[in-house]
Structure 1
Amino acid sequence: MSELLNYEFSEARRRFDGAPQVLYCHKDPPRELAGTDALSGENIAYITFVLSPRHIDEKHRAKTIDLIHTLRTYLHYHIKCMKAYMQMRMRAKTSEFLKVLNRAHREANNSVVVTVDQSVGFATGSSSAK
């Protein structure tokens, strides 16, 4: 997901001159946070926006703040969608595997049953399907 997000931000920067540069750091905090008590670890990531003076001038400041503020909601929405998509695929795979197992189970029950008739002494075979 992080690679896709990073790719989308870089594509947006190529398409729009006014888009800020976005830096993504996984596990370790960015250099700007060195010497602070910033968390680091496998489940930690940092997104840094490099804002230029045109992003914080009086005309664009409110829109810039609004867009950065709504990024969290945007990310949460896409994470939930990704989880739902993965669960849907896992359920479909599970359903396919169950169908295969059920077919194999039915084929295993079609065995030949041998009965011996003691009065004549001959063995006869019959097929029984359950």
Structure 2
Amino acid sequence: MILLQSPSRFLLQILKDRVVSGDKGVDIDCHTVEFDDVRYHIQFSMRNPKVMVLSVALPLAPPEAILHDGLPLGAIDAIKAAYGAVVQILDPPKDCFDVTMKINLTKLPTDEEQRNVVLTRIASVREVVLGAPLKLLLRHLASKTVAPNVDKLVALVHRPNESFFLAPQADKVTVVYPMRFQDSIDIVLATSFLQEFVEARRTAALNNAPSCMWSPVPPLELKGVNADALDANAGFVTFVVFPRHVEGRKLDKTVWSLLTFHAYVSYHVKCSEGFMHTRMRRRVESLIQQALDRAKSDAEKLKKLVHGGSFRRLSMKHEGNSNH
């Protein structure tokens, strides 16, 4: 199984190319989409080649999701903490976007290794913004406390018009995903994948991983949630995260893994579907080749039969003798 990477490779490559090219670059005005739900608008102008304007459009939030000024809870503070003086938040953001940032490349560290760390962090803006409320709750879990002024059940933006839910407690945080897929084949594959995923968690090698459960019906933690938010055709996946899972550097990894869980499942579902299609194509090609080989063999046998037969030509003398 593959784990998705936090930084956007496209965005990171543009940043690195611009740093290397310096004043010799060209104007850039492009759009890109990540995981079908986060859209970026990247702008560079040679009139000011050391400044990049990055606009981010987040997934459309469902009614139950917690937002603050149109952004996930704590997103602005998370951006400031992650990027410092390198990034300036523009208010208001560009039309059709949720946040617009002005990135000053002159304020990047001079050391190449440190500079690459900062660029990678900028390319991970999805994690910084969407993961802000999740990190806030899990950071309190690390200290075995509950974030103040937080409901017993918190809905966070997961995908367009979809939420996942957290039930924070001092000693654990329960995370529940209603799994939805549009394609009927994807539903079947995802359901099978998730059931196997839960079984794999029970192996001895994964004893330290968060416990995982799958259910075709909403778990008790979602009691009282709006029915529209519980419309899941591939069941519900529940993770129980304990303080040991968010200690130190584990926090960022746990946040990213939880934030992209649906994309992780979708990726493997599509890979499975592609693998099966490839196997079926190979099987059909093999059957066709066998039929062609069989037809060729039959044709060769018929040809040998026709050309291999012997016929004796009778002369006039033989014909006369035969009449006597």
Matched, 1:66 2:256: yes
Task: Give the fraction of aligned pairs with identical amino acids, expressed as a percent.
Answer: 25
SS at match of 2:306: strand
1:45 Cα offset (Å): 2.0
Matched, 1:8 2:200: yes
SS at match of 2:293: helix
- Residues 214 and 236 in structure 2, CA contact (< 8 A), matched pair in contact too: yes
- Identify which of 184, 208, 215 aligns with 1:25: 215
Aligned residues: 110
Which has a greater percent of helix? 1
- Residues 213 and 239 in structure 2, CA contact (< 8 A), matched pair in contact too: yes
- C-alpha distance 35-109 of structure 1, shift in aligned 2 (>3 A): farther
Matched, 1:127 2:306: yes
Tell me which amino acid in the other structure corresponds to 1:87: H
For structure 2, the 5+ residue unaligned runs are: 1-192, 308-324
The residue that corresponds to 2:284 in the other structure is: 94
- Residues 201 and 207 in structure 2, CA contact (< 8 A), matched pair in contact too: no
1:111 Cα offset (Å): 5.5
Q: TM-score, normalised by structure 1?
A: 0.62
Alpha-carbon separation, structure 1, partners of 2:286 and 2:207: 48
Alpha-carbon separation, structure 2, partners of 1:59 and 1:81: 30
Tell me which amino acid in the other structure corresponds to 1:102: L
Q: TM-score, normalised by structure 2?
A: 0.29
The residue that corresponds to 1:115 in the other structure is: none
Tell me which amino acid in the other structure corresponds to 2:238: T
1:49 Cα offset (Å): 0.4
For structure 1, the 5+ residue unaligned runs are: 113-125
- Residues 29 and 39 in structure 1, CA contact (< 8 A), matched pair in contact too: no
Provide the alpha-carbon RMSD of the alignment. Answer: 3.2
Matched, 1:51 2:241: yes
